[in-house]
Structure 1
Amino acid sequence: MERAREIGEGSSSSFREQRNLREKERRMRMKHLFSILSSHVSPTRRLPVPQLIDQSVSYMIQLKEKVNYLKEKKRTLLRGEVHNRSEGSSSHQPKLSISSRDSTIEMNLVMDSSNIKRVLLRELVSVFEEEGAQVMSANLQNLNNMTFYTIIAQAIICRIGIDPSRIEERVRCIIS
């Protein structure tokens, strides 16, 4: 009888240890996942978990809104291209838009591929870099005889920022 009780106690003790070990592994994994999330949402400072989750939700909502905005902008640009073609216009003037928010600046340029002057993406990127911006994304896309340039950059020194009007002026000199 005592022998049976010893075996029973031993198995419940090892079961408890296994459960504790699994719980410890789960906590370590969650801590690691929150650490990764924190590095994406707030890389400069560590936040408490509830605040981290709130900021993550806000960040995802902002990203979703930006995606919707960009999709709509693309649709509008493509509709404008189809509309202009139906009017019989063979050469389009370049369309340039520059927007800035906080220390980030975004440039969208649409040019007709039949334009005599070809603009190199590296020329546009160099304008941003010379104006004190670090280029985070630069994209060139050819679609239906149109060339779409998109550059997203961030100020190297946030306190100083970037002057969008100066960048616009220099880009217009390149494309004209």
Structure 2
Amino acid sequence: MQGGEGGSSSSSRLKRSLMERERRLNMKNLFAHLCSLLPPKPTKMTVLELVDEAREYVKQKQQRMEQLKQTKVQLENDYGCKVGKSIVITTRDSDSCLEVNLVVSADLKFELSKFLIVLEEEGAQVTSAMYHREGDRFICSIQSQAICSRIGIETSRVRERLEGLIS
């Protein structure tokens, strides 16, 4: 009977040893993957240094994301942009000129002619309109000037009406 117990004991020890080896190999692979996700470093790092580096990297990325969100809000406030998943409208006016920029997702259907009609109805004469495709979006720039420079163009009203076309 003792021989049977000894064999059972060594086989369970072997199982534990194999399981531990597998766990260590898995951890090594996970740390290697984590290391590949971080910016390259000139020196080899210990596991503790790698974890600290990953924590700092994630913290930096979170701070950068927060900065970008604040920049987006600031741009929306400063330039009157409407930022959505598929379209961005910005308007800038100086003196009697108005520039309207559109960035439109290629899968969104919109009629540029309707944008031009709104501008003309609001007292702007379109002087140029250009667009081009860049990846999965269209970028359009419309330049216009007030038909009557004394009256000018009500930029906020134009922007409101243009946004109404895409709502």
Q: What TM-score do you get using the length of structure 2 for normalisation? A: 0.50
1:14 aligns with 2:11: yes
Equivalent pairs counted in the alignment come to: 105
RMSD (Å), alpha carbons:
3.5
1:164 corresponds in structure 2 to: none
* Change in 2 beyond 3 A, CA 1:29/1:49: same
Report if aligned partners of 2:35, 2:50 keep a CA contact under 8 Å in 1: yes
Looking at CA atoms only, which structure, 1 or 2, has the larger radius of gyration?
2
* Change in 2 beyond 3 A, CA 1:83/1:40: closer
2:129 corresponds in structure 1 to: 116
1:92 corresponds in structure 2 to: 91
Alignment of 1:2-151 (within 5 A): 4-43=1-40, 45=42, 46-82=44-80, 92-93=91-92, 112-113=101-102, 116-118=129-131, 120-121=133-134
Runs of 4+ residues deviating >4 angstroms:
81-84, 139-142
SS in 1 for 2:56: helix
Q: How far is 1:6 from its partner?
A: 1.1
Encode CA deviations 1:126-156: one digit per residue, 9 max, x unaligned: xxxxxxxxxxxxx8588x968xxxxxxxxxx
Encode CA deviations 1:7-41: one digit per residue, 9 max, x unaligned: 11111110000000000000001111111111121
Q: What TM-score do you get using the length of structure 1 for normalisation? A: 0.48
The residue type equivalent to 1:77 in the other structure is: L
* Change in 2 beyond 3 A, CA 1:140/1:60: farther
Question: What stretches of structure 2 of length at least 5 have no aligned partner?
Answer: 83-88, 94-99, 103-114, 116-127, 140-158
